[in-house]
Amino acid sequence: MGATDQDPFAIFHAPPPNETAGERAARIEKEAEEKRISDQIDEQLKAERLALKKQKYVVRVLLLGQSESGKSTTLKNFRMKYAKESWDAERASWRAVIQLNLIRSIITIVETLQAEMDGEPLDRPASPSTPATPATALIEESVPSTPNTPSAPSRKDPSYLLASQTSKESLSRSGSLSLANKASLSSLLTGKHQLLKLRLGPLRRVESDLKNQLGEGADEEQDGVAESFGPLSLETTSQTLTKRKKEFGVRKLQDALERSVAAAKRAQSRNGSQHGHGSDDETAGAGDSVDGATEILASCQEDMKALWSDEAVRTVLRKRKLRLEDTAGFFLDDLDRIARRDYQPSDDDVVRARLRTLGVQEYRITFDSSTTLFAGGVGGDGGKEWLLYDVGGSRTMRHAWVPFFDNVQAIIFLAPVSCFDERLSEDSKVNRLEDSFLLWRMVCSSKLLSKATMILFLNKCDLLKRKLKSGAQIKAYLPSFGERTNDVGTVVKYLREKFKEVLKEHSPAPRSSYFYATSVVDTKSTATTIKAVKDSITREFLKHADLM
């Protein structure tokens, strides 16, 4: 071998001349240690590369939309269908939330009766935490001003799709109605109602106990503070916000549910011997014990039923335009089942339960590869792992959305179409459909989301149908609807076109989009929709990841 064939770096690796046996052993040991460290670093890098690759194959989906639009309910449908094991394990822990929803409705009724007896004007909500704003008429810009119906402030912006309203108007109208009906309706409320109110008093304590059970992660959020609005807030009016609404919510749902179960178990073992035996409820077997909340609810069952079925109560609720049946977390028609000592929530109950989301909650769903089109990637699993982000939708929560816009494959946007005649609970001057429409426009125009597939759920079609059936006229709130037929099919089609136009006009680049008319509390029809959604998101994902 000539001199040129020699490794030019060999000199650096060669052992030093005259190396002693001891030096040689130390050198070999040092070299072995260096190799071990180098191998370790290689392994680490390999693992990081693999994790990064795996990350690349995770599908990220954001659920967006205003508060009460149905985001968490949509997520529940996903979990019920595709993460059945954890869904089944969690079902029982929703009992406290459902009981809380039930008690809220009863307290709302009691407060409404009190307001009626006190002769409060109609526009003032009986309870600041009434689950949904009762519908009141909006004024069209074109309606001429009369002494009784002052015109709304003129809005020139063509995107101002919906008519808006001055609260002065509703106050003046409700005020006169209140005066006209006060005497006759108050007289309907008798000693029986006072007695019911008294007997249902303990429910207030149960309400606060249940909130405590849901624990530290639970929170009372106050809305209506303009300064805290984030970049996605919609300050369409310059009014000072005065109305404050409290609604119970949680930041970490899983933690809250687990805590409530643990607390209920503790209470149950404390109460065991006192309430389990000699119970007048045939369904609770001898030796059964229940927690305090369940016990009090069961003992108030007859009174709650008497209150809800009372004709005078229904008349007052109608007069005050409080349609509890259409509000979130309505369980009054299920009192026979829910206010029992042995009550266990059904899938349907959990889907209908209302627990406001605070912040952003992340859920991981691993799809079964037998169900669809996974491909490529790590072991052929591209598109199998999903991260679903469920966000709080009220205005004060929207600033928390933006950090999650990065690297999102799809947005499922919930726009409740039944709320054309409702106002935001956090800002009673803004029409809810208008808020949805403007929020959709902002999401569509976001550059960060320009590659995301857009999926729109025109949700709460069941409630829309009910409202239209009961005589509500879309054109009174949406002048551009004109003389089209006032039925659910025509209304949904009209709104779908409006949302589509916005998407087309405001998307930074062409993108895939899908539109569905939904009622996400209907788990059967929603199962079909989310299967279609899942397949299209996966297909889009694989297409762009070049895996197919």
Ligand X SMILES: Nc1nc2c(ncn2[C@@H]2O[C@H](COP(=O)(O)OP(=O)(O)OP(=O)(O)O)[C@@H](O)[C@H]2O)c(=O)[nH]1
Residues near ligand X (CB under 6 A) are 65, 67-73, 328-329, 352, 354, 356-357, 392-394, 414, 459-460, 462-463, 519-521
In the complex, least distance from residue 246 CB atom to ligand X, rounded to whole angstroms: 13
CB nearer to ligand X: pick between 139 and 415: 415
461 is in an annotated binding site: yes
- Of the candidate residues 66, 72, 178, 446, the single one contacting Mg ion (CB under 5 A): 72
Residue nearest to ligand X (CB): 393
Q: How many other C-beta atoms are found inside a 10 Å radius of the C-beta of residue 451?
A: 16
Q: For 209, what's the count of Cα atoms within 13 Å in the CB-facing half-sphere? A: 20
490 is in an annotated binding site: no
| Residue 378 DSSP symbol | G
In the complex, least distance from residue 241 CB atom to ligand X, rounded to whole angstroms: 18
Stretch that binds Mg ion, among 57-65, 70-78, 164-172, 456-464 (CB under 5 A): 70-78
In the complex, least distance from residue 120 CB atom to Mg ion, rounded to whole angstroms: 31
462 is in an annotated binding site: yes
CB nearer to ligand X: pick between 71 and 275: 71
Strand order in 218-222's β-sheet? Answer: 218-222, 246-250, 356-357
Token pair in block for residue 502: 């916005």
In the complex, least distance from residue 277 CB atom to ligand X, rounded to whole angstroms: 36
123 is in an annotated binding site: no
Token pair in block for residue 40: 């370790």
> How close are the terminal C-alpha atoms of the chain, in Å?
52
The rounded distance, in Å, linking the Cα atoms of 416 and 460 is 5
Partner from ligand X, Mg ion, none binding residue 425, C-beta < 5-8 Å depending on class: none
CB nearer to Mg ion: pick between 72 and 507: 72
CB nearer to ligand X: pick between 73 and 178: 73
Partner from Mg ion, ligand X, none binding residue 68, C-beta < 5-8 Å depending on class: ligand X
The rounded distance, in Å, linking the Cα atoms of 287 and 275 is 9
CB nearer to ligand X: pick between 370 and 470: 470
One-letter identity of residue 368: D
Q: What are phi and psi of 251, to 5 degrees?
A: -90, -40
Exposure string over 190-219, b if 16+ CB within 10 A, otherwise e: eeebeebbebbeebeebbebbbebbbebbb
CB nearer to ligand X: pick between 189 and 424: 424
Partner from ligand X, Mg ion, none binding residue 70, C-beta < 5-8 Å depending on class: ligand X
Partner from ligand X, Mg ion, none binding residue 519, C-beta < 5-8 Å depending on class: ligand X
Strand partners, 411: 62, 454
197 is in an annotated binding site: no
Partner from ligand X, Mg ion, none binding residue 163, C-beta < 5-8 Å depending on class: none
Is the C-alpha dihedral spanning 282, 354, 431, 241 positive or negative?
positive
Q: How many other C-beta atoms are found inside a 10 Å radius of the C-beta of residue 132?
A: 20
Instruction: Tell me if 461 sits within 8 A of 488, measured CB to CB.
Output: yes
Nearest to 103 by CA among 266, 320, 293, 291: 293
Partner from ligand X, Mg ion, none binding residue 446, C-beta < 5-8 Å depending on class: none
The rounded distance, in Å, linking the Cα atoms of 417 and 494 is 11
β-pair type (356-357, 246-250): parallel
CB nearer to ligand X: pick between 71 and 320: 71
Instruction: Tell me if 191 sits within 8 A of 366, measured CB to CB.
Output: no
Token pair in block for residue 109: 């009724």
Strand partners, 416: 459
In the complex, least distance from residue 224 CB atom to ligand X, rounded to whole angstroms: 15
Stretch that binds Mg ion, among 8-16, 291-299, 352-360, 413-421 (CB under 5 A): 352-360
Dihedral angle, C-alpha 252, 407, 446, 452, nearest 10 °:
-100
CB nearer to ligand X: pick between 292 and 416: 416
Partner from ligand X, Mg ion, none binding residue 65, C-beta < 5-8 Å depending on class: ligand X
How many residues sit in the footprint of Mg ion (CB under 5 A)?
3
CB nearer to ligand X: pick between 115 and 492: 492
Token pair in block for residue 147: 């002494």
In the complex, least distance from residue 152 CB atom to Mg ion, rounded to whole angstroms: 31
In the complex, least distance from residue 330 CB atom to ligand X, rounded to whole angstroms: 7
- Of the candidate residues 99, 213, 357, 396, the single one contacting Mg ion (CB under 5 A): 357
Binding annotation for GTP? 459-462
Q: Which residues bind Mg ion (CB under 5 A)?
A: 71-72, 357
Query: Residues annotated as binding site for Mg(2+)?
Result: 357
Q: Which residues are annotated as a binding site?
A: 357, 459-462
